[in-house]
Structure 1
Amino acid sequence: MGKTTKQLQPGTEEQILNAARRVFTRKGFAAARMEDIAQEAGINRALLHYYFRSKDKMFDMVFKENMGKFFQGFITALQGKESFEEKIKRLISGELDTLIQNQDLPLFIVNEIAHNPEKLIGNMQQTHIGDFRKEFEKLVKSEIRKGNIKKVDPRQLLMNLLAMSVWPFIAKPLLMAIMELDTKAFEKMMLQRKEIIADSILLSIKK
């Protein structure tokens, strides 16, 4: 008979999902075991199965919750009456804030791209990613028609923006070692990147 290693709190389900995210990030969906998640959460397997019948259900909930918040925030950043420049700055700022608060998210996605792409794509299609891409493309094309920015493929611009924001979090251990950064210094650099990335993106499309 297993034993509970931590006192359960009202937020047990959230506790389990947070533990599952950490395990999925380290091991990927295929290699992660329910036992690993129970141990990470500090509970026994019986209690884990009470909340979640399967690893698939847990993974789907973790993924949709994380990605849903991620892209819904991006859509909000692109809406409103602010100028194009302000929207881009707000988008980048919100993206980096989200990444700083969820630093394991990029690695989580990269692991699933490598080991479980079909499941990842299926889950992606149920998030706001499609809505965000369409909103971004509509905004960029509108600015091109108005003559405010260079003619540019919105998809290329979006790839640049995402890569400049996300890559440092994927390479975080390497960057921290090379640059001799602790966690606080790394996060400070990521906050500084808000202005650096915005300036770079806007300069690249300036007429």
Structure 2
Amino acid sequence: MSFMESMSTEQRIREAARKIFLEKGLAGARMQDIAREADLNKSLLHYYYETKENLFLLIFEDELDKFYSQLQAILNGAGSLTDKISKLISAEMDAHLACPKLSLFILSELNQETESCLAKLRKCRLHELFRNFKALLEKEVELGNVREVDADTLFVNILSLSTYPFIAKPLVLEMFDQNEQAFESYIERHKKATSKLLENYLQPSHEPGLKEDINQLI
């Protein structure tokens, strides 16, 4: 018995949908592709999920929850603040490599279905993630391990520096004359450069009480 055959029909649909959506994104995926991958007829697939959008939202919520749970585990784990920031950056970029359409889908949902998308993000405990990050930063500042910085600006910069290359991927490919393989190599370099940039920025200041705006450095 194969792995897919051992699962319930709904589990098979979810696994198949996850595979197809990660490969093709929302626009490129078809219900027929998902039905074929799950080894089901299309009518049965539509019985469980009327549209591919409904199915995508379910997979989207699952992936988002797993992603933010991973980030939360990084913040709760061992290591210095700069180590954790480096891991956050790496985890976010790896998630975008695994699901290239994720960032564009989130932006599209935020612009078209703002309240619905925000509700999904709340389920993933995004506020809790930021509160934990802010508390960790404040503790490190108090211990003198990092300079005093604005927590929300730093957090947004971590997210944006990790996300922008994927949002602007066609521009990046054209600007640097890259193919897919070269883009993945670039992302690995970007991970290291971004981590080093923020590590250098967070170095404790020699002037007590000095608080700089990260936007002056990035």
| TM-score class, shorter | 0.7 to 0.9
Instruction: State the partner residue of 1:13.
Output: 14
Q: 1:117 to 1:148 in 2, by over 3 A?
A: same
TM-score, normalised to structure 1, is 0.81
Q: Which amino acid aligns with 2:66?
A: K
Q: Which moved more, 1:42-51 or 1:166-175?
A: 42-51
Distance, in Å, in 1 between the alignment partners of 2:162 and 2:26 is: 19
CA deviation after TM superposition for structure 1 residue 178, in Å: 1.8
1:38 is aligned to 2:4: no
CA deviation after TM superposition for structure 1 residue 205, in Å: 2.2
Q: Which amino acid aligns with 1:167?
A: Y
CA deviation after TM superposition for structure 1 residue 169, in Å: 0.4
Q: 1:168 aligns with which of 165, 170, 175?
A: 165
1:134 is aligned to 2:135: no
Distance, in Å, in 1 between the alignment partners of 2:26 and 2:57 is: 14
Q: Which amino acid aligns with 2:84?
A: K
Instruction: State the partner residue of 1:84.
Output: 81
CA contact 2:26–2:56 (8 Å) conserved in 1: no
Q: Which amino acid aligns with 2:162?
A: S
Instruction: State the partner residue of 1:202.
Output: 199
Instruction: State the partner residue of 2:9.
Output: none
**Among the aligned pairs, what percent are the same residue?**
27
Q: 1:120 to 1:139 in 2, by over 3 A?
A: same
Consecutive unaligned residues of structure 1, counting only runs of 5 or more, are 1-8, 28-35
CA deviation after TM superposition for structure 1 residue 181, in Å: 0.7
CA contact 1:106–1:170 (8 Å) conserved in 2: yes
Listed as ranges, the matches of 1:101-180 within 5 Å are: 101-180=98-177
Q: 1:74 aligns with which of 64, 71, 75?
A: 71
CA contact 2:75–2:132 (8 Å) conserved in 1: yes
Aligned length: 191
Distance, in Å, in 2 between the alignment partners of 1:175 and 1:202 is: 25
Distance, in Å, in 2 between the alignment partners of 1:93 and 1:16 is: 25
CA deviation after TM superposition for structure 1 residue 175, in Å: 1.0
Distance, in Å, in 2 between the alignment partners of 1:45 and 1:55 is: 11
Q: Which amino acid aligns with 1:113?
A: L
1:52-87 Cα offsets, whole Å, 9 max, x none, are: 256675244122111111111111111233122222
CA contact 1:70–1:98 (8 Å) conserved in 2: yes
CA deviation after TM superposition for structure 1 residue 21, in Å: 6.6
Q: 1:24 to 1:98 in 2, by over 3 A?
A: closer
CA contact 1:21–1:62 (8 Å) conserved in 2: no
CA contact 1:20–1:59 (8 Å) conserved in 2: yes
TM-score, normalised to structure 2, is 0.77
CA deviation after TM superposition for structure 1 residue 40, in Å: 4.1
Consecutive unaligned residues of structure 2, counting only runs of 5 or more, are 6-11, 205-218
1:145-189 Cα offsets, whole Å, 9 max, x none, are: 112222111110011111111010011112112211111110111
